A and B are shown apart, each in its own frame.
Chain A
Amino acid sequence: MPPIRTSRNRKPPPEGFEEIEDTLLEFTNKMKDAENAPHEGKRKNESVWEIFRISHQRSRYIYDLYYSKEAISKALYDWLLKNGYADANLIAKWKKQGYEKLCCLRCIQAKENNFNATCICRVPKARLSKEQAVECISCGCRGCASGD
């Protein structure tokens, strides 16, 4: 049986965690709110959009901290990924050209769709007609093509 880790015997997080702790706590609270929010009047898909959104924002926050602001150390970044504060697979996609703004991994899963195409939110704004308001089914994204 693996040892149970509680706040009493946990190894402390790497240096620099204190600075971002508050923001992460905010995200955690938002996530809890979203999880407990009522789903009445929402479509089946719609109920999880908020969860996707917060998860995306938190991943983006950590990604920005490490790559563009260079505010956290490699050790802390790895620790955050390991502890589920950010989605490592999503971040891996952001590093690829053409996927810089990707909303979620489900939206590039072409095989899950009827015509084996990616999600509508991956289509650049220029390719869509002007009036078409996009809200993708899987995560409620309104467009995450890199060119927009």
Chain B
Amino acid sequence: MAHNLPTRPLKSTVANYAYTSPGGTPTPAAQAPLPSGWTEHRAPTGHSYYYHAATKTSTYTRPVPPSTALVPQHTPGHTSSSQFPFAAAVLSGSQFPGDPFTHGAPTTPNYPHYPHQQFFQRGRGGGRPFQPHRPPKKPDRPKKKRPLPGVENWVLVLTKLGREFVHNPETKESLWLGKGKIPDEVVKAVEKLKSLGLEELSKLDEEEKRASEARRRARRAEKWKATAVTEELEEKGEGGEYGEYEEEEGADGGQSGGAGVGATGEGPRGKKRSASAAELGEEGEEEYEEEYEEYEEPPEGAPKWDGGLPASGGGAPAGPVEFTEEDISWQLEAMAEEYGLEEEDLQEEDLPAEDAVQIYREMLEELQPNPYGTWENTYPSLAHDPRYTVLNTTKHRQEVFTAWCKDRVAILKEEKLKQERKDPKVQYWEFLAAHIKDVKKLYWPEFKRKHKKEKEMKDSKLTDKDREKMYREYSAHTKLSPTLLENELKKLLKSNKELTRYAKVDGLPLTILADVRYAAYPLVLPGDAKSSGLPPPRDTVIQAFLSTLPEEARPLSEKELKERQRQGALRERERTVKKEQGRLRGEIERGREILKGEEMEIERAVKEVGRKGLLSAIEAEREREKEREKLKEKEKAES
């Protein structure tokens, strides 16, 4: 089959008329004969499709002569028929006389106005240009199923748009309520159901829910598993990439529902097809594709219009087979149908965002990945979990993971703060004590080599030098005689000033715990001390020493300590205040003296200068000097 397969024709659990099972195509005898130019082919998925060699059109829906094709404007907007009004009308005429799509309500007030239908009608009138980028509307879908009391095999189905119909899963018959030939007992049952109160209805719902819950859970787990595996594979392929490129992994059933909605949704798919056509290297086809994208109307009555995207190849059905997304999703759909899955099961991708994040975080809580690790290292271990795919993109998953890591690290930090850190020395002593046999017989380099993988040997708080020194001390102490050991320990205890009579054996200060004389004391049980020439147990030695300490060295309670501290602080304060005061007083005294001196000087000056001013004082000084000189001369002359 060289030409591409047409799109999956329908997605409906209720009126899956053409393909009840992958192999179950309706017999050609029950169908109208093909119009001229059309040939029937079989797709790899098992269902048949039709190909028109002249127009290079392929479709899943069985084409009919143009005379019957004028009916479809009156098809109701239910799932399958809304996607394929043409086909539904055709098929309903020939195959399903009881189908709601024939007898249904064509003009209900909430009847959805699908874009493709406008297109259809406009096409006939040859009207305005088509606007290709209208958002695709979701077709109507069954929303709730409720078994009818009293009537076997019939269920009342409520659609998303609020319409109701009854459905018989065994005969696959569906009838709109209020229209058509509904059996009397069914009508009665429906009335009965509707007359029930709200409470009873909810009760019924709950019962049904519970029944379906177990079933659904099993299915969901399976499905998650399947998707998790495939996604992991995808991601592994992606892992080598440099930047963070996201690929939407949304080829699941949820998407395909909207994909088939008429011509508006066809943009990207059209391109994809055109790419594949280009690969084949057939120019004519590309032209055709362009035509298609412009939505040119096929000639009157030609059954080109089938909602899917029929692309075609050479002609004879031979060559490489293309498996498209639609085929796969169609098969999934068919499988779901076989298992009896409900519509809700297929819609679980529509989880609200917060719930999805919540579920994802729960998974993280459970699996507890390393919050200090990288995402690249972490996600392979997460991908096995079915909950991994609740979030659609890897980017989103990574974001939530990072947020979780942040919270987790904060918690870990708090825990660490609460936990008392052991002194690295004490830790190392304990480590040596645990390997006492090695310490006794190995040299330091040997010991180091033997235990280089241990955490204590790699602890960065201690240098290698320290470790070596401590090792030597320890091994030297193991060779001492018991009495010497005891004396050493007592010496250590005596030298410590912090110890009081009330100290506890298991609450000794760090200065003692980190000392080799305490740490290297052999571990002796109280019973076997005297018998085998070992020193008395460490605890008894310490206890004995503590009891010899003077009585007054009682440990102060917190209150007393605080009081003492307060008094000390007060005394200190007083002392500083006094000092300050003395200093101030001294300064004042000094200032006063200086002032006095200055005053006296001024007085003297005033006396000498007198009232005549400075000049007279200077003249007087000069005269005095002259007199002195004269006196000197006189003395000289006399001598």
> A interface vs B, CB < 8 Å?
7-10, 12-13, 17-20, 23, 26, 53, 56-57, 61, 64-65, 68-71, 101, 103, 121, 139-144, 148
Contact = CB atoms under 8 A, between A and B. Distances in A.
Interface string B339-380: 000000000000000000000000000000011111011000
Given A7-B464, A12-B460, A23 B245 contact: no
What's the dominant secondary structure at chain A's contact region? loop
B242 A144 contact: yes
A130 to B, nearest CB: 9
Nearest to A102: B243
A8 B465 contact: yes
Contact of B245 (A19, A26, A53, A142): A142
Nearest to B241: A142
Most buried by B among A13, A61, A101, A121: A61
A89 to B, nearest CB: 19
Top 9 A-B pairs ranked by shortest CB distance? A12-B460, A71-B409, A8-B464, A19-B372, A141-B242, A69-B405, A69-B406, A144-B243, A142-B242
Contacts of B95: none
A141 B243 contact: yes
Given A8-B465, A26-B377, A13 B243 contact: no
B402 interface: yes
Given A57-B376, A142-B245, A69 B409 contact: yes
B273 to A, nearest CB: 14
A23 B377 contact: yes
A101 B246 CA distance: 14
Interface string B397-411: 000001001100110
B579 to A, nearest CB: 41
Contact of A71 (B245, B405, B465): B405
Contacts of B406: 68-71
A7 B245 CA distance: 41
B245 A148 contact: yes
B244 interface: yes
Interface residues of B, number: 22
Contacts of B371: 69, 71
A65 B242 contact: no
22 contacts: A7-B464, A8-B463, A9-B463, A10-B463, A13-B460, A18-B460, A19-B372, A23-B370, A23-B373, A23-B374, A64-B402, A68-B402, A69-B409, A70-B409, A71-B372, A71-B409, A101-B243, A139-B242, A141-B242, A141-B243, A142-B245, A144-B242
B405 A148 contact: no
A142 B410 CA distance: 35
Interface string B409-420: 110000000000
Nearest to A7: B464
A143 B245 CA distance: 8
A97 to B, nearest CB: 17
Contacts of B372: 19-20, 23, 65, 71
B461 interface: yes
B268 to A, nearest CB: 11
B460 A148 contact: no
Contacts of B376: 57
A69 B410 CA distance: 9
A139 B242 CA distance: 9
A71 B413 CA distance: 9
Most buried by A among B241, B372, B374, B405: B372
Given A57-B376, A70-B410, 15 more contacts: A10-B463, A19-B372, A20-B372, A23-B370, A23-B374, A53-B242, A69-B409, A70-B409, A71-B372, A71-B406, A71-B409, A140-B242, A141-B242, A143-B243, A144-B242
Contact of A103 (B243, B374, B464, B465): B243
A71 B406 CA distance: 7
A8 B461 CA distance: 12
B317 to A, nearest CB: 30
A7 B464 CA distance: 8
Contacts of A65: 372
Contacts of A69: 371, 402, 405-406, 409
A131 to B, nearest CB: 9
Nearest to A70: B406
A69 B370 CA distance: 12
A143 B242 CA distance: 8
A34 B372 CA distance: 24
A4 to B, nearest CB: 14
A53 B240 CA distance: 10
B460 A103 contact: no
Contacts of B460: 12-13, 17-18
A142 B238 CA distance: 12
A83 B371 CA distance: 23
B243 A148 contact: yes
Contacts of B465: 8-9
Contacts of A141: 242-243
Contacts of A142: 241-243, 245
